[in-house]
Amino acid sequence: MNKQKKPLYYYYFIILLIFVLINTFVLPLFSTKIESVAYNRFMRDAEEEKIDTVEIGDTSIRYTLKEDAGKIYETETMETDTALSERLYASGASFSRIHTKEMNPLLYYFLTLVLPIAFLWWLGNRTFKKMQKKLGDDAMSFGGGFNPMGSFGKSDAKVYVKSQTGKTFKDVAGQEEAKEALVEMVDFLKNPEKYSKIGAQMPKGALLVGPPGTGKTLLAKAVAGEAEVPFFSISGSEFVEMFVGRGAARVRDLFKQAREKAPCIIFIDEIDTIGKKRDTSGIGSNDEREQTLNQLLAEMDGFDGSKGVIILAATNRPESLDPALLRPGRFDRRIPVDLPDLNGREAILKVHARDVKMGTNIDYNAIARATAGASGAELANIINEAALLAVKDDRTIVSQRDLEEAVETVIAGVQRKNAVISSKEKMIVAYHEIGHALVAAKSKHAAPVHKITIVPRTSGALGYTMQISEDETNLISKEEAFTKIMTFTGGRAAEQLIFNSITSGAANDIEQATKIARSMITRLGMSDAFGMTALETLNNPYLGSDTTLSCSAETAAKVDQEVITLIKKAYEEAYRILEEHKSKLHELAKFLYEKETITGEEFMEILNQPSHF
């Protein structure tokens, strides 16, 4: 087997390291220590006949003592002492006079400053060229040469030549509508003459919009892979730096590189970093960011779309982009890349499971139904977590149980098997979770119970109840929303009914119930008091969906009162259901306390049997 040759800069580093170590540790061992003393001590040592040798220079005197010849003492020369030679002769010391010659200042400057800088520049430039040659043309950075000023206006975009992104549309699942919108662009890059004959031009740019993890970057790479054209990839944050004008220069260089390699694709990730709306008031504006945006707008207007340069950009904050960036002629198309539906999640799971050894009886549909609202990245993480669980159990094949446990790991965290919980708290948690499940099972508009557990998780949950809808739904009725609030209040109602006390275990339930109740009143028009009046504005729909009240203080107070009334009504209804089925509550809580985890089938089987209490 041939041993891989080490790069040249590796040996430069070794030589430099050896040089530093020698100067730091070795040379001091062989160097003679020189101690500065006063002139009167020198004369005292001479009178006491302790001096062995003396060297008299133009500005200093160095001497050694008979008792310690390895140490050198130094003192200043006294021009007024004319009888120094006689005193040294009388003391028996051997002495001599040395005339030092000063070095030429130009030569000293050259040896101490110019020569070391030139050597370091040569060493760094040689090293950089070797590294650049090693990287090759597959994925190179247009960052310029070694000279930092030479790369001031160079973009940091990485270009992947031909289909070396390694991705095609086969690697993208669950985004069929987005793929269909991008197929035309791929066809244009492959067959531009078909469009030029009729005089049609493809859109200069397409904006991929969606939540994080839905596959926007993957789609852009797949377009480049399908079209087999160069693919420039850069993040919006790489344009903006502390030096004003540098971002605009990088934009110019990026488009220059793209024109030279046309047809090609430019992909700008997180474009909202440089594409935010410009501040008309001038207060709090960022000159560098605005200059970069202005240059991007000018470049998109300046190049010919028929040349085959297509710009793709991705963002999860489309509402923050400047209107000039979204007008026709720049980003002509807006392609939604939303969270996948049931069929999309199943397809994504199968795509990510291709490289993993899966069992023969895997039910991907069941996992897809259990992960409603999950993004493609989260589904890929579930497959990976399942593989890790199989390895942990010394198995070579992933089973259905591994996938189900992976879903719970992503949702609620890893099991805390060593967590110490008292019997009393364990019993309270058991009644709490059965309260949720029992209210859901006895309500008409609730999703079926899939699993109940009181095993603590690393997310802080001491237990949870999992419900999985049988069908994928996009709408929620007023009755379904109210049932959700009832289910959330069921845990606290069970605690109050059985123990005549309440705990902090319902903190997350209270938060979720309040959020649903407030949205029913302020945004969904499900309140008799306000009707179809929008009292709240939804901000950043792809990033947490925070809201802002758009009403007076008096109305806001009424909204708060409506929320309290609605949640109180749901709590009373949940309490009534649990009180009517108190015997089943005891029986199911006892069963859960003993087994710690039960399935939805076990729960329904006990619930439908005659009570033993």
Q: What is the 3-state secondary structure (H, E, C) of 554-585?
A: HHHHHHHHHHHHHHHHHHHHHHHHHHHCHHHH
The whole-number average pLDDT for the span 473-495 is 93
Q: pLDDT tens across 339-369, in order?
A: 898 899 999 999 999 889 998 889 999 999 8
Cα dist from 549 to 167, 438, 519, 529, 531, whole Å: 44, 35, 11, 17, 16
Domain boundaries 32-97, CATH class: alpha beta
pLDDT tops 70 at residue 163: no
| ∠ CA 332-333-338, rounded to 5° | 155
Q: How far apart are CA 304 and CA 190, in angstroms?
A: 17
Please report the pLDDT score of residue 14 as a whole number: 62
Contacts of 168 (CB under 8 A, 6+ apart): 222, 225, 226
- Determine the topology of domain 342-411 in CATH: Helicase, Ruva Protein; domain 3 (1.10.8)
Q: How far apart are CA 402 and CA 418, in angstroms?
A: 20
Q: pLDDT tens across 490-503, in order?
A: 999 999 999 999 99
The whole-number average pLDDT for the span 37-62 is 80
Is beta strand 158-160 parallel, antiparallel or unpaired with respect to 51-56? unpaired
- The one catalytic residue among 226, 378, 433, 495: 433
More reliable by pLDDT, 577 or 543: 577
Burial label, 523 (beta-carbon count in 10 A; 0-12, 13-18, 19+): middle
Q: Which two tokens stand for residue 517?
A: 């109740």
Q: pLDDT tens across 252-271, in order?
A: 888 888 888 878 888 898 89
How sure is the predictor about 15, in pLDDT bands with cuts at 50, 70 and 90? low
Q: pLDDT tens across 294-319, in order?
A: 888 888 876 666 667 888 999 988 88
Is beta strand 34-36 parallel, antiparallel or unpaired with respect to 72-76? parallel
- Determine the topology of domain 140-336 in CATH: Rossmann fold (3.40.50)
The whole-number average pLDDT for the span 147-176 is 62
Counting every residue, how long is the chain?
613
What is the side-by-side strand order in the sheet with 449-453?
A: 464-467, 449-453, 597-599
b/e map 46-75, b = 16+ CB within 10 Å: beeebbbebebeeeebebbbeeeeeebbeb
Q: Which two tokens stand for residue 203?
A: 């859109």
Instruction: Give me the residues paired with residue 207 across strands.
Output: 313, 334
Instruction: Give me the residues paired with residue 536 across strands.
Output: 549
The helix (run of H) or strand (run of E) holding residue 396 is none
Q: Which two tokens stand for residue 429?
A: 């948690």
pLDDT tops 70 at residue 392: yes
The whole-number average pLDDT for the span 53-70 is 77
Percent of the chain with pLDDT over 70: 79
Is 480 catalytic? The answer is no
Pick the CATH number of 423-608 from 1.10.260.40, 3.40.50.2000, 1.20.58.760, 3.30.1300.10: 1.20.58.760
Please report the pLDDT score of residue 497 as a whole number: 95
Instruction: Give me the residues paired with residue 553 across strands.
Output: none
Q: Peptide bond preceding 263: is omega within 30 degrees of 0, i.e. cis? A: yes
Q: Is the CB of residue 266 less than 8 Å from the CB of residue 204?
A: no
Domain boundaries, the chain: 32-97, 105-134, 140-336, 342-411, 423-608
The whole-number average pLDDT for the span 224-237 is 83
| ∠ CA 15-134-132, rounded to 5° | 85
How sure is the predictor about 159, in pLDDT bands with cuts at 50, 70 and 90? low
How sure is the predictor about 203, in pLDDT bands with cuts at 50, 70 and 90? confident
| ∠ CA 555-560-562, rounded to 5° | 90
Please report the pLDDT score of residue 479 as a whole number: 94
Please report the pLDDT score of residue 108 as a whole number: 63
The overall average pLDDT reported for the chain is 81
What number of other Cβ atoms are within 10 A of residue 150's Cβ?
11
More reliable by pLDDT, 411 or 214: 214
Q: Is the CB of residue 42 less than 8 Å from the CB of residue 73?
A: yes
> Of the candidates 232, 235, 253, 233, which has an alpha carbon nearest to the alpha carbon of residue 152?
253
What number of other Cβ atoms are within 10 A of residue 333's Cβ?
17
Please report the pLDDT score of residue 188 as a whole number: 82
Q: Which of 46-55, 240-249, 379-388 has the highest mean pLDDT?
A: 379-388
DSSP letter assigned to residue 237: G
pLDDT tops 60 at residue 22: no
Please report the pLDDT score of residue 97 as a whole number: 73
What number of other Cβ atoms are within 10 A of residue 45's Cβ?
20
Q: Is the CB of residue 376 less than 8 Å from the CB of residue 214?
A: yes
The whole-number average pLDDT for the span 500-509 is 92
pLDDT tops 90 at residue 81: no
DSSP letter assigned to residue 462: S
What number of other Cβ atoms are within 10 A of residue 566's Cβ?
22
Q: How far apart are CA 117 and CA 98, in angstroms?
A: 34
pLDDT tops 50 at residue 3: no
More reliable by pLDDT, 260 or 77: 260
pLDDT tops 90 at residue 85: no
More reliable by pLDDT, 415 or 164: 415
More reliable by pLDDT, 377 or 281: 377
Q: pLDDT tens across 93-149, in order?
A: 777 777 655 556 666 666 666 677 777 677 766 766 665 555 444 333 334 333 444
How sure is the predictor about 236, in pLDDT bands with cuts at 50, 70 and 90? confident
Please report the pLDDT score of residue 346 as a whole number: 92
Worst-scoring range by mean pLDDT, 119-128, 441-450, 469-478, 582-591?
119-128
- Biggest alpha carbon–alpha carbon distance for the chain: 126
Residue type, 602: E
The whole-number average pLDDT for the span 325-336 is 86
How many Cα atoms are found within 13 Å in the side-chain-facing hemisphere of 570?
31
Contacts of 549 (CB under 8 A, 6+ apart): 522, 535, 536, 537, 556, 559
Q: Which two tokens stand for residue 207?
A: 């904006």
Q: Which of 71-85, 184-198, 379-393, 528-542 has the highest mean pLDDT?
A: 379-393
> Of the candidates 319, 213, 215, which has an alpha carbon nearest to the alpha carbon of residue 545?
319
